[in-house]
Amino acid sequence: MVNKEKNSATDNRTVVNIDAPNHVTGKSIYVDDIPGMEGMLYLKIFDSTIAHGKITSLDYSEAALVEGVEKIFSHKDITGENQIGGIIPDEPLLAEDEVHFMGQPILIIAADTEDAAEEALKKIKISFEPLPVITNPREAFAKGKILSPSRKFVLGDSAKAFSNCKYIFEGKTETNGQEHLYLETQGAYSMPTEHNSVKVFSSTQGPTAVQRTIARVLGVGMNNVEVDVARLGGGFGGKEDQASGWAAMAALVAYVMRRPAKCILHRMEDMRMTGKRNPYSSDYKIGLDEHFNILAYDVTFHQNGGAAADLSPAILERTLFHCTNSYHIPNVTATAHSCKTNLPPNTAFRGFGGPQGMFVIEAAIDHAAKQLGIDAMVIQQRNLLKDGSEFPYGQIVNECEAGSCWNEASSKFNIEKVKKTIATFNNQNDFLKKGLSVMPICFGISFTNTMMNHARALVHVYSDGTVGVSTGAVEMGQGVNTKMLQVAAETLGVNKSNIKLESTNTTRVANTSPTAASATADLNGKALLDACEQINERLHDFIRTLTGNDEDAIKIINEAVYINEEASVYTWKNIIQQAFMKRINLSAKGHYATPIIHYDKTIEKGHPFAYHVYGTSIHEVTVDCLRGTYEIDSVRIIHDAGKSINELIDLGQCEGGLVQGIGWMTMEEVVYNENGKLLSNALSTYKIPDIYSVPKEIDIEFLSTEKNNLAIMKSKAVGEPPLMYGIGSYFAIRNAVLAFNPSSNITYSSPITPEKVLMGLYHKSEQ
C-alpha cells in the first residue's frame, strides 16, 4: 500500500533552497558573471549633476575621440521612442532639453574597455540653466505638481462620526525613504541576434517590462526582444520597474552597433541614479468613543514620488488599501497625493506603500493612547479586524487571523509578564530605559491592479523522464524556484533530482507580471500546477490503455506507478519512454488567473485581494539614555503562514523582512540636500542593519492553519508582510524615550536614529 503520510505534501515542506550550494560556493551566476563575447562594448552613463534645469550646451566631441570609445549615444540616437515610463509615459531614457533629477541619464558611452569609457566621461562638457528644485512633497503639492490624479477612499461618514467621538486627536507623521541595496547592482548584458532582434540578460523582477520597454525604445516588436533572467542578487522592488532603463541602454547599443554590450552600475552610480522607497508626509485625525473604539479616521498622504511616475501611482493605491492596517474602523476618509519632486523617481520597495500607510494609523493610535494615559495595545487589541468587518475599499473580512495571532502572541510570549518586568526595570534604572510595543499586521495578497494577477508555466518532460520547468517567476533570493520545484515534484510524482528549474525567459513564458506583490509563488505555482495536471491526465489515460481498464485509478508517487492504490510494474521512466513512442504530448503550458478578485476605481470599491496575511509582533528594546543609542532586545512574532510549503524559506523571509523593516524604521537614513543631491550616497554614509544591530533574540512561530484560501497548496504569501513588523521597533524605542522623559516632544518621524533619540531624551518643554 502507498504510504500516503510519507508522500504527502508535508514530506516536501523542509526542502533546502536549491540555490544554497551554489550561493555559498560562489557558483551562482549573476549578470556580470556571464562571460563577455568577442567585441563586447562596456557602457558608462553620463548623468545630470543638477536636480532641475535646462541643458544649455552639451559637447562630447572630445570624449568621442578617446581611444577605444566607439560611439556616444544621446537621445537623438534612439531608434524608437525615448520613453521608459511604465504606468505613465513621463520618463525619457535619456534627457533631451531638461533634467529633472540629479543622476538622470543624459548620454551613454560605448567603449571597448571600461577604462576608455571612464576616461571619456571626464571629457564631456555640459552647462545648465538651473530651475527651482523641490524635494519636499508638501511643497510640490502646494505648487500643483502631482504625478497622477489624487485618490480618495471613503467608508461610512467620518465627518459625521467625529461629532460622536469622545476623544479626537490630530497630528502629522513623516516616513523617510529606503535604499534597496540589493547585493547585485542594476545591470544588463545584450547581444544582437538575427532578424533585427536582440537578446538581453537582465537583472530584473519584470522580464516582460524589460522586453516591452526595449521594444519601444528600439522601435521593434516585442517578438524581436528576448529577455532572460537566471536569478537576481536581490531586488526588493527596486528592479520591478527600474531595471528597464539599463537594459534598454544595453539593448540600444547592441542593436545599433551590432555588437554585444554590457551595462552594469557601480554601487555609487546605482545609489545616485535609482529611486528608493517613497518617503511620505501625512496628516491624521483619529476619533474614539469612551470605550476606546475607533469610530473615525481621516488621513491625507503626501507621497514623494520623485521626478517621474514610475510605480508611484500603484504604490499610492496600496497605501490607501493598508491605511487602517489590522483594524476595523467604520468611518474612514483617506486621501492620497502623488507629488512630483526633483529626486530620482521613487519606486517599489517591499510592502509597496503598505508600510507607509500602516505607520500613520499606528502613530495615530499611539498618540491617542499617550494622551489618554493608556497602553496603545489597549486600543489596538480592541479594534482588531474580525470576520465580517469591512475594509475601506469594500472587501469583507474573511478567514481573519488578526485576533488569533494577537491572542497566540499575547499568551505564548506572556505579554503581561513582559510589561511588569519592563516597568520594574524602568523603576530601577535611571539611565537605561526599556520600551515595549506590539505591532499587528494585515497585508492584502494580489496585485492591486486586477489585470496583473495571472501567470503561465511551461513544462517539458523529456524522453528520458527528466523534467524542465519554466515559469514567469524570477528567483531573487526569496526561494520561489525551490517552491516551484516542490509543486512540480509533488504534482507529477517525480523526484526533485530529476526536475530542473529553467531561467525565466520571455520566449518560453510570455506576458508575465513582475515578480512582486508577494504573489509570485501563488500565481506561477498555480499555473505550474495546471501544466503538471495536464501532463498527468495524458499519462494516466495512457496507462489505462496499457492496463486495458479505463476505470483504473492511477497515481504516480516518487516515480512509481500505483494502479488502484497498488504498486504496479510501471515506473515513471518507462511510462514516459512508452508514451513518447506512442507520440503522446509530453509538454504542457499552464495558465492561472486569480478568481474572485475585482475592483472598480471609479467608486474605489471591490474585492481586490485574494486573501490577507496577518501576524502580531512584540518588540522589546533598551535605550541608553546617556548616549541615545539603543538595542533591540527581542522581537517575538506569531505569523500567519497558512500551511507553509517550505518552513525554512518562509522563516527566512520573515527574518529578512523584519530586519529590513527595522532598518527602514530605525537607522537607514536617506539624505538629500536642498539641491537634490544625495548625501547618503555610499555604504559609509548609509547604514543598514548588521549583525550587531539585529534583535538579540528573534522568535518567530507560525500560526499554522489550513484555510480555504487561494494560496498555493494553502501556503500563504510571505515575501512582504513581515517587513511591516519592523514598525513595532520604532514604537518600542519611542516608548523607552518617553519612559525617560515623559514630556519629550519627539515627533512621529522615522527613522528614529540615535541622534533623534538623544534629542528626544533631553528635550525640555517650553513652559
Q: Which residues bind ligand HPA (CB under 6 A)?
A: 240, 311, 314, 318, 348, 352, 447-449, 452, 516-517
3-state secondary structure of 136: coil
- Helices 244-257 and 207-218 pack at an angle, to 10 degrees, of 40
Nearer to ligand HPA, 353 or 695 (CB): 353
Report H helices in 548-645: 572-581
* Cα dihedral: 424, 426, 429, 430 (round 10): -150
Cβ-contact 313, 148 below 8 angstroms:
yes
Given ligand MTE, ligand HPA, ligand MOS, none, residue 520, with its beta carbon under 5 to 8 Å by kind, binds ligand MTE
3-state secondary structure of 54: strand
Q: How far is the CB of 534 from ligand MOS (least distance, A)?
A: 29
Q: Does 599 contact ligand MTE by CB under 6 A?
A: no
List 109, 480, 485, 539, residue binding ligand MTE (CB under 6 A): 480
Closest residue by Cα to residue 475 from 92, 203, 124: 203
What is the size of the binding site for ligand MOS (CB under 6 A)? 10
The span from the CA of 343 to the CA of 676, in Å, is: 6
Closest residue by Cα to residue 447 from 472, 469, 484: 472
Looking up cell 520613453, which residue turns up? 83
The span from the CA of 156 to the CA of 163, in Å, is: 13
> 206 to 235, contacts with ligand MTE by CB under 6 A?
234-235
List 102, 499, 516, 588, residue binding ligand MTE (CB under 6 A): 516
Residue 402 amino acid letter: A
The span from the CA of 163 to the CA of 284, in Å, is: 16
Nearer to ligand MOS, 238 or 615 (CB): 238
269: Cβ contacts below 8 Å, ≥ 6 apart: 45, 47, 185
Q: Does 347 contact ligand MTE by CB under 6 A?
A: no
Nearer to ligand MTE, 234 or 313 (CB): 234
Q: How far is the CB of 601 from ligand HPA (least distance, A)?
A: 13
3-state secondary structure of 186: coil
Q: Does 349 contact ligand MOS by CB under 6 A?
A: yes
Q: Does 309 contact ligand MTE by CB under 6 A?
A: no
Q: Does 477 contact ligand MTE by CB under 6 A?
A: yes
List 350, 433, 434, 526, residue binding ligand MTE (CB under 6 A): 350
Q: How far is the CB of 718 from ligand MOS (least distance, A)?
A: 12
Q: Does 661 contact ligand MTE by CB under 6 A?
A: no
Cβ-contact 507, 537 below 8 angstroms:
no
List 207, 234, 237, 287, residue binding ligand MOS (CB under 6 A): 237
Q: Does 348 contact ligand MOS by CB under 6 A?
A: yes
Q: Does 236 contact ligand MTE by CB under 6 A?
A: yes
- Half-sphere exposure (Cβ direction) of 658: Cα atoms closer than 13 Å: 31
Residue 362: CB atoms within 10 A of its CB come to 26
Stretch that binds ligand MOS, among 33-41, 172-180, 216-224, 348-356 (CB under 6 A): 348-356
Given ligand MOS, ligand MTE, ligand HPA, none, residue 314, with its beta carbon under 5 to 8 Å by kind, binds ligand HPA
Q: How far is the CB of 241 from ligand HPA (least distance, A)?
A: 8
- Strand-by-strand arrangement of the 125-130 sheet: 98-99, 53-59, 125-130
Closest residue by Cα to residue 392 from 720, 157, 594, 168: 157
Nearer to ligand MOS, 53 or 719 (CB): 719
Q: Does 350 contact ligand MOS by CB under 6 A?
A: yes
The span from the CA of 707 to the CA of 719, in Å, is: 19
Measured CA distances, 190 to 41, 178, 212 (Å): 10, 30, 15
**DSSP state letters, 443-465:** EEES-SSGGG-EEEEEEEE-TTS
Nearer to ligand MTE, 260 or 275 (CB): 275
Q: Which of 118, 240, 720, 755 is catalytic?
A: 720
3-state secondary structure of 731: helix
Stretch that binds ligand MTE, among 208-216, 365-373, 517-525, 704-712 (CB under 6 A): 517-525
Nearer to ligand HPA, 72 or 597 (CB): 597
Nearer to ligand MOS, 224 or 715 (CB): 715
Ramachandran sector of residue 160 (left: φ over 0; alpha: ψ -120 to 50; beta: rest): alpha
Q: Does 722 contact ligand MTE by CB under 6 A?
A: no
Q: How far is the CB of 433 from ligand MOS (least distance, A)?
A: 35
Q: Which residues of 52-82 are buried (b: 16+ CB within 10 A; e: fewer)?
A: bbebeebebeebeebeebbebbbeeebebeb
Q: Does 605 contact ligand MOS by CB under 6 A?
A: no
Q: Does 322 contact ligand MOS by CB under 6 A?
A: no
List 517, 523, 632, 727, residue binding ligand MOS (CB under 6 A): 517
List 137, 440, 656, 760, residue binding ligand MTE (CB under 6 A): 656
* Beta bridge mates, 756: none
* Beta bridge mates, 57: 127
Closest residue by Cα to residue 385 from 704, 613, 641, 45: 613
Grid cell of 7 as nine digits: 508522500
Q: How far is the CB of 148 from ligand MOS (least distance, A)?
A: 18
Nearer to ligand HPA, 559 or 720 (CB): 720
Q: Are strands 587-593 and 566-571 parallel, antiparallel or unpaired?
A: unpaired
Nearer to ligand HPA, 320 or 556 (CB): 320
526 phi and psi angles, rounded to 5 deg: -70, -35
Stretch that binds ligand MOS, among 256-264, 349-357, 688-696, 734-742 (CB under 6 A): 349-357
Given ligand HPA, ligand MTE, ligand MOS, none, residue 477, with its beta carbon under 5 to 8 Å by kind, binds ligand MTE
The span from the CA of 215 to the CA of 373, in Å, is: 60
Q: Does 519 contact ligand MTE by CB under 6 A?
A: yes
Residue 750 amino acid letter: S
Q: Does 205 contact ligand MOS by CB under 6 A?
A: yes
Q: Does 443 contact ligand MOS by CB under 6 A?
A: no
Q: Does 182 contact ligand MOS by CB under 6 A?
A: no
Residue 539 amino acid letter: L
The span from the CA of 278 to the CA of 356, in Å, is: 8
Cβ-contact 345, 275 below 8 angstroms:
yes
Residue 674 annotated to the active site: no
- Half-sphere exposure (Cβ direction) of 109: Cα atoms closer than 13 Å: 28
The span from the CA of 309 to the CA of 34, in Å, is: 32
218 phi and psi angles, rounded to 5 deg: -80, -25
> 683 to 742, contacts with ligand MOS by CB under 6 A?
720
Given ligand MTE, ligand MOS, ligand HPA, none, residue 448, with its beta carbon under 5 to 8 Å by kind, binds ligand HPA
List 47, 91, 184, 240, residue binding ligand MOS (CB under 6 A): 240
Cβ-contact 99, 106 below 8 angstroms:
yes
Given ligand MOS, ligand MTE, ligand HPA, none, residue 198, with its beta carbon under 5 to 8 Å by kind, binds none
Q: How far is the CB of 723 from ligand MTE (least distance, A)?
A: 8
Q: Does 590 contact ligand MTE by CB under 6 A?
A: no
Q: Which residue is nearest to ligand MOS (CB)?
A: 237
Q: Does 653 contact ligand MTE by CB under 6 A?
A: yes
3-state secondary structure of 657: helix
Given ligand HPA, ligand MOS, ligand MTE, none, residue 175, with its beta carbon under 5 to 8 Å by kind, binds none
Stretch that binds ligand MTE, among 41-49, 354-362, 474-482, 743-751 (CB under 6 A): 474-482
Nearer to ligand HPA, 273 or 517 (CB): 517
Residues taking part in catalysis: 720
Q: Which residues bind ligand MOS (CB under 6 A)?
A: 205, 237, 240, 348-350, 352, 516-517, 720
Binding residues for ligand MTE (CB under 6 A):
234-237, 350, 476-478, 480, 515-521, 653, 656, 717, 719-720
